[in-house]
Amino acid sequence: MKPIAEELGPDNIVYPDLYKQPLVDDWMEKEGVFSDEQWDKEQLRLPTLPNTFLAIIPEGREEEYADDAEQALNDAWGKIVNGVYDLLTGAEVFEEGSGIEQEFRRQTEDIPFDIYWLALKWGVNPDKAIEDYKKLLSPDRCWEFERLWKQIQDKVKNTNIGDAYALLVEMTRIGLKALKYRGKPKIAYEPGHKCSLCGERTALTDGNPNDIKQMKKFWKQMSEIFPGHIKENEHLCAVCLVKRLAPKAIYSDPNKYFETEDLGFDYHFPSTGSVSIAPFIYKAINAEKNDLPEVQWKVISDKINEIRRKHKGPEFLEKYLLHGRSVPKIRRSFRGGLEFLNEFEPEWLYPETPEREVIEPERQQNKQEFTSFAEELRDAIKSALGKFAEKVHMPKYYAAVYLDGDHLGKWLSGEFAPRIEDVFHPDFVNAVASNPDFQKIKDKKRPVTPAIHRAISSALRDFALKIVPYVVEDNLGVVIYSGGDDALFLMPLENLFKTLVALRKLYSSERFAAEFSGCKFESNKGFIKIYENNKFKEIVRVMGTKATLSAGVAIAHYLDPLDITLSKAKAALEDAKNDGRNKAGFRVILRSGSERKAVVPWSFVEVMERFRNEVAKGFSSRFLRTLYRNVDVYQEIPDAFDTEFLKFGARGQSENAKSFLCDLIDTRKDNELPFKEFLDALIIADFVVREEGKK
């Protein structure tokens, strides 16, 4: 986007909206448009730009701009490759001209993803654009735009191509989609053992690529050179190695990649264990406020300093202990002697971590030394946690969440646009109510213009930048990506349902008020008021009450492979989309390998949060599994289900249980949930509260 923005101006980028985007602000600072005090550098850690953009450019220069954009991507990839190359040569991994250096250069010569572009020439005749649209997409005979267009032609003498903007954008979107479906040729045959991450390219080695012993030896050395970044049992291709070491290369010299010498944030990303255990650590830091036994953090700090002196200094610690980070909210809480936790891997707080780490293959060479270190640290942690660990549960499951706006293409094409009558002031509507021409068009949908398109882009930008990070991080989550109409983040289970509900309400600006990350958010009818320190800060525009959102949630153990967990979250999102959208799909990955799935409307996610709270207070959920065993029977006699649900659910419960159970039954009926889906959703909520340790 930068080559276009530099020559034509940022306003020529219609989507995404570049205003207040961190990378753009970084560029603007270098250009002297404003100072570093006028934007927040820490937001550079948030990936908020989508992988697609739409620009309006002069006709006849489309190939030039496409080439410039593609060249900019290749240049950026080349910078990262060269940064990693410098790390490798500096660490004497290879020398210039060696076989492995040539293989590294070969594999990283081209950018490792496909680039597609499509330009649609507007011309000057809107009638031709309408005919082209009809030929390409075959709208039905009662196509609303065509009927409106006839009314416009009768009254407007000088129509122009901008009147057909919505059709031009839709044809461009469909054309680009077709190009992607057609795809591009895949890479040619690669000899030898393949990369353990992508499985496509030959893994790097300083010997014969078919010699697995030599390859293992090489990657053992790599794990020692780049501790915390590479594991001994991995063997990566050059592309995956560049991706793995890119943060280290960028952070070592940010001025090469950004317009600043100081990024203002740490590139290390919290581990899945850091996310799952986050509620435990947050309670430990604030133990005194919550009337809990105090944690003796100094015991752990002193032990780390002792290990630093006794063993191999920072290198030993970097490899085994200091390769993790806590989630953002906890990192911002470190004070009064807790700063050492900035570099401490939170997974070491789990009692089983020392034993598990000792048996890792890469530990066998120095097993005695590592075992001694692990046992000392385990004992220090146990002593430091003391009675706090007896009272507070250590959760081991977390959630990966995909969010995706529904029908964005239809919003941009105008299919979900408001009626013409609805966009005018009521006084104007009343004044022209008797006008026969207005009567003919008042119920038609307002055509999408570049200004409306830009408004949609702005709403999506504000949701990605000003809503998602605040809500997710305040609830101890960590944002992986938030841009355009989709987001991906990791969450501890304790705050899962309320985070989902808050984001859904804020996306559509339903009536909602809550405080996140020190800011109060009040949403209603398309706008959100934000207050900071009890003072009004700003109003942001979001998509509005007719816009909907779907979610895919995968709940997994922190030791499960992250790529599998993310694929399950993606599958859960597809479940929600295929079930009508505007829903949340859940998949719980159990340690046995089995799964539990459910897709529910958003209103039922609120019910799951209420059920979680009731179970945490003592409500027994055992009856759910009894009913689940007979769920097929209830399909035959549906009237019996609610009776049995109420009878078994109320047995042995408090007096208020019946009212609560009746509410659940009513909600099931209102949402037309099948019996199995209903029980699966409640059992998932029960699983969440059990894993929180509140039951």
Does the pLDDT of residue 282 top 70, yes or no? yes
Distance CA 568, CA 384 (A): 37
Dmax over CA atoms of the chain, in Å, equals 91
Work out the number of other CB atoms within 10 angstroms of the CB of residue 135: 9
8 A C-beta contact, residue 120 and residue 281: no
The pLDDT-based confidence of 278 (bands split at 50, 70, 90) is very high
- Phi–psi pair at 55, nearest 5 degrees: -130, 150
Distance CA 350, CA 389 (A): 10
- The tokens describing 54, both together, are 């739409």
8 A C-beta contact, residue 23 and residue 49: yes
How far from the centroid of its chain's Cα atoms is residue 569's Cα? 10
The pLDDT-based confidence of 189 (bands split at 50, 70, 90) is confident
How far from the centroid of its chain's Cα atoms is residue 7's Cα? 32
The answer for residues whose C-beta is within 8 angstroms of residue 71's C-beta and 6 or more apart is 3
Looking at 212-313, list the stretches that DSSP marks H as alpha helix, in order from N- to C-terminal side: 212-225, 238-252, 272-276, 278-285, 297-310
Distance CA 549, CA 463 (A): 12
Q: Three-state SS for 505?
A: helix
The answer for residues whose C-beta is within 8 angstroms of residue 235's C-beta and 6 or more apart is 193, 195, 196, 203, 204, 205, 215, 216, 218, 219
Pick from 418, 467, 462, 416: nearest CA to 443: 418
- Phi–psi pair at 230, nearest 5 degrees: -130, 135
Distance CA 275, CA 479 (A): 11
- The tokens describing 406, both together, are 């529904």
Query: To the nearest whole percent, how much of the chain has pLDDT over 70?
Result: 92
8 A C-beta contact, residue 489 and residue 478: yes
Residues pairing with 597 in the sheet: 587
* pLDDT tens column, 363-376: 445 556 667 777 88
8 A C-beta contact, residue 522 and residue 513: yes
Does the pLDDT of residue 695 top 60, yes or no? no
Work out the number of other CB atoms within 10 angstroms of the CB of residue 534: 6
Residues 52-85 as b/e (b if ≥16 CB within 10 A, e otherwise) read: ebbbbbeeeebeebbebbeeeeeeebeebbebbb
Find where tokens 């927040």 sit: 40
| Measured CA distances, 348 to 393, 394, 534 (Å) | 15, 12, 39
Pick from 558, 549, 571: nearest CA to 490: 558
The pLDDT-based confidence of 600 (bands split at 50, 70, 90) is very high
Find where tokens 């804020």 sit: 506
Does the pLDDT of residue 337 top 90, yes or no? no
Predicted confidence at residue 664, as pLDDT, reads: 93
Radius of gyration (C-alpha) of the chain in whole angstroms? 29
* pLDDT tens column, 665-677: 999 999 999 999 9
Distance CA 240, CA 258 (A): 22
Predicted confidence at residue 359, as pLDDT, reads: 47
The pLDDT-based confidence of 264 (bands split at 50, 70, 90) is low
Predicted confidence at residue 260, as pLDDT, reads: 61
Contacts 24+ apart (CB under 8 A), 206-212: 206/94, 206/98, 206/99, 206/100
Find where tokens 């650590």 sit: 281
The answer for residues whose C-beta is within 8 angstroms of residue 366's C-beta and 6 or more apart is none
Predicted confidence at residue 71, as pLDDT, reads: 92
Angle between helices 238-252 and 99-108 (to 10 degrees): 90
Does the pLDDT of residue 203 top 90, yes or no? yes
8 A C-beta contact, residue 576 and residue 584: yes
Average confidence (pLDDT) over 429-441: 87
Average confidence (pLDDT) over 612-631: 90
Pick from 44, 52, 40: nearest CA to 15: 52
8 A C-beta contact, residue 489 and residue 48: no
Pairing of β 595-601 and β 583-589: antiparallel
- The tokens describing 361, both together, are 């293959």
Q: For 564-615, what is the HEC assignment?
A: HHHHHHHHHHHHHHHCCCCEEEEEEECCCCCEEEEEEEHHHHHHHHHHHHHH
Of 13-22, 41-50, 333-342, give the lowest mean pLDDT range.
333-342
How many Cα atoms within 13 Å fall on the side-chain side of residue 404?
20
Does the pLDDT of residue 597 top 80, yes or no? yes
Strand order in the sheet with 512-516: 512-516, 519-524, 527-532, 535-541
Does the pLDDT of residue 420 top 90, yes or no? no
Does the pLDDT of residue 184 top 50, yes or no? yes
- The tokens describing 310, both together, are 């006794």
8 A C-beta contact, residue 17 and residue 48: no
Number of H helices, E strands in the chain: 29, 12
Distance CA 150, CA 243 (A): 54
Distance CA 569, CA 577 (A): 12
Distance CA 567, CA 298 (A): 40
Query: To the nearest whole percent, how much of the chain has pLDDT over 90?
Result: 46
Distance CA 589, CA 554 (A): 7
Find where tokens 């013409």 sit: 420
8 A C-beta contact, residue 542 and residue 462: yes
Predicted confidence at residue 78, as pLDDT, reads: 94
Distance CA 45, CA 403 (A): 19
How far from the centroid of its chain's Cα atoms is residue 691's Cα? 23
Average confidence (pLDDT) over 299-308: 82
| Measured CA distances, 171 to 61, 390, 518, 694 (Å) | 19, 62, 44, 53
| Measured CA distances, 392 to 273, 292, 295, 468 (Å) | 17, 9, 11, 29
The pLDDT-based confidence of 544 (bands split at 50, 70, 90) is confident
* pLDDT tens column, 578-596: 999 999 999 999 887 789 9
How far from the centroid of its chain's Cα atoms is residue 687's Cα? 23
Contacts 24+ apart (CB under 8 A), 408-411: 408/484, 408/485, 409/170, 409/173, 411/456, 411/543, 411/547
Distance CA 317, CA 323 (A): 8
Does the pLDDT of residue 468 top 90, yes or no? yes
Does the pLDDT of residue 528 top 90, yes or no? yes
8 A C-beta contact, residue 196 and residue 203: yes
Predicted confidence at residue 368, as pLDDT, reads: 66
Of 132-146, 318-332, 450-464, 578-592, give the lowest mean pLDDT range.
318-332
Looking at 311-405, list the stretches that DSSP marks H as alpha helix, in order from N- to C-terminal side: 314-320, 328-331, 353-358, 367-391
Does the pLDDT of residue 648 top 80, yes or no? yes
Distance CA 292, CA 290 (A): 6
Predicted confidence at residue 364, as pLDDT, reads: 47
Q: Count the residues in the chain.
A: 695
Predicted confidence at residue 336, as pLDDT, reads: 63
Average pLDDT, rounded, for the chain:
87
- Phi–psi pair at 535, nearest 5 degrees: -120, 140
